[in-house]
Amino acid sequence: MGKLQGLLFGLATLVLVVTATVLFTKDWLPPLMSDRVGIDHAISITLVVTGIVFILTNLLLAWFGYRYQDQPGARAAYWHDNPRLEWTWTLVTAGVLAVFLFNALGLWASVNARPPADAMLIEVTGQQFAWNVRYPGPDGVLGRTDHLIASQENPIGLVKDDPAAKDDLLLLNQLYLPLDKPVRVQVRSMDVIHSFFLPNFRVKQDAMPGMTIEIWFTAKQTGDFEIACAEHCGLGHYRMRGQVHVVPAAELDKAVTEAAQ
Amino acid sequence: MAHSEAHAAEAHAHAPQAFIWRYVFSKDHKVIGIQYYVTAMMMALIAGLLAMLIRVQLAWPEKDWSSLQKIIPAGYTSGVMNPEFYAMLFTMHGTIMVFFVLSTAPVSGFGNILIPLQVGARDMAFPFLNGLSFWTFFCGCVTILYSFFVGAGAAAAGWTSYPPLSALRGAVPGSDTGQTFWIVAMVFFIASFTMGGLNFVTTIVNLRTKGLSMMRLPLTLWAMFLVAILGLLAFPALTGASLMLLLDRHFGTSFFLPTGLVLNNAPILGPDGQFLHKGGSPLLWQHLFWFLGHPEVYILMLPALGFTSDILTTFCRKALFGYKAMVGAMVAIAGLSFIVWGHHMFVSGMSPYLGMAFAVGTILIAVPSAVKVFNWLATLWNSRIQYKTPMLWAMGVVSLFISGGLSGIWLGQSAPDIQFHDTFFVVAHFHLIMAGAALFGVFGATAMWFPKMFGRTMNETLGKTHFWLTFVTYYGTFFPMHYIGLAGHMRRIYDPYQYAFLKPLQPINEFITVSALILGLSQIVFFVNFFWSAFKGQKASENPWNANGLEWTTSSPPPHGNWPGAIPEVHRWPYEYSNPSAPTDHVMQHEPPMTVEAGH
For chain B, how far is it from start to end, CA to CA, in angstroms?
A: 25
For residues A107-130, give the mean pLDDT.
96
SS3 A111: helix
CA distance B354 to chain A (A): 11
| DSSP one-letter string for B198-228 | HHHHHHHHH-PPTT--GGGS-HHHHHHHHHH
As a whole number of angstroms, the distance between CA B33 and CA B45 comes to 18
pLDDT single digits (tens) B144-164:
999 999 988 999 999 999 999
Would you call B489 an interface residue with chain A, using a CB distance cutoff of 8 Å?
no
Are the C-beta atoms of B174 and B155 separated by less than 8 Å? yes
Helix or strand (DSSP H, E) at A185: strand A182-189
pLDDT at B2: 43
Nearest Cα residue in chain A from B583? A75
CA distance A58 to chain B (A): 7
Task: Give the pLDDT band (50/70/90) at residue B11.
Answer: low
Would you call B567 an interface residue with chain A, using a CB distance cutoff of 8 Å?
no
Which residues have a Cβ under 8 Å from the Cβ of B118 and sit 6 or more positions away? B217, B218, B220, B221, B549, B550, B551
Residues in chain A, overall count? 261
Task: Give the pLDDT band (50/70/90) at residue B383.
Answer: very high
For chain A, how far is it from start to end, CA to CA, in angstroms?
A: 75
Average pLDDT, chain B: 94
Asked if A68 lies within 8 A of B386 by C-beta distance, the reply is no
Side chain identity at residue B233, one-letter code: L
Which residues have a Cβ under 8 Å from the Cβ of B522 and sit 6 or more positions away? B466, B469, B470, B473
Asked if A226 lies within 8 A of B323 by C-beta distance, the reply is no
CATH of region B36-257+279-553: 1.20.210.10
Tell how strand A182-189 and strand A120-127 pair up: parallel
As a whole number of angstroms, the distance between CA B45 and CA B5 comes to 43
Asked if A241 lies within 8 A of B492 by C-beta distance, the reply is no
Classify each residue of B422-458 as buried b or exposed e, where b means 16 or more C-beta atoms within 10 Å of its C-beta.
bbbbbbbbbbbbbbbbbbbbbbbbbbbbbbbbbbbbb
Are the C-beta atoms of B317 and B545 separated by less than 8 Å? no
Q: Phi and psi for B537 in degrees, rounded to 5? A: -65, 170
- Restricting to B residues 228-257, those with a Cβ less than 8 Å away from any Cβ of A are 257
As a whole number of angstroms, the distance between CA B361 and CA B336 comes to 7
Residues of chain B in contact with residue A147, where contact means CB-CB under 8 angstroms, are: 259-262, 267, 275
Nearest Cα residue in chain A from B155? A234
Are the C-beta atoms of A10 and A179 separated by less than 8 Å? no
Nearest Cα residue in chain A from B488? A199
Residues of chain B in contact with residue A208, where contact means CB-CB under 8 angstroms, are: 282-283, 348-349
Asked if A112 lies within 8 A of B423 by C-beta distance, the reply is no
Out of A46, A147, A226, closest to residue B267 by CB: A147
Asked if B367 lies within 8 A of A204 by C-beta distance, the reply is no
Packing angle of the helix pair A37-67, A2-24 (nearest 10 deg)? 170
Which segments within B55-165 are labelled E, that is strand? 76-77, 80-81
CA distance B218 to chain A (A): 15
Sign of the dihedral defined by the CA atoms of residues B282, B285, B290, B296, in that order: negative
pLDDT at B595: 55
Out of B265, B383, B494, closest to residue A76 by CB: B383
For residues A215-228, give the mean pLDDT.
98
SS3 B584: coil
Instruction: Enumerate the β-bridge partners of residue A224.
Output: A245
Neighbouring C-alpha atoms within 13 Å toward the C-beta of B228: 23
For residues B83-104, give the mean pLDDT.
96
Side chain identity at residue B11, one-letter code: A
As a whole number of angstroms, the distance between CA B335 and CA A199 comes to 35
ipTM entry: 0.96
Task: Give the pLDDT band (50/70/90) at residue B24.
Answer: confident
Nearest Cα residue in chain B from A50? B406
pLDDT at A72: 80
Q: Is the pLDDT of residue A134 over 80?
A: yes
As a whole number of angstroms, the distance between CA A234 and CA B157 comes to 7
Which segments within B36-187 are labelled E, that is strand? 76-77, 80-81
Prediction pTM value: 0.95
For residues B464-489, give the mean pLDDT.
97
As a whole number of angstroms, the distance between CA B449 and CA B460 comes to 14
Residues of chain A in contact with residue B409, where contact means CB-CB under 8 angstroms, are: 46, 50, 97, 100
SS3 A61: helix
| DSSP one-letter string for B430-477 | HIIIIIIHHHHHHHHHHHHHHHHHHSEEPPHHHHHHHHHHHHHHHHHH
Question: What is the largest distance, in Å, between two alpha-carbon atoms of chain B?
Answer: 86
Distance of CA A97 to CAs A46, A89, B48, B386, B572, Å? 10, 12, 36, 36, 37
Q: Is the pLDDT of residue B14 over 70?
A: no
pLDDT at B1: 40
Nearest Cα residue in chain A from B269? A148
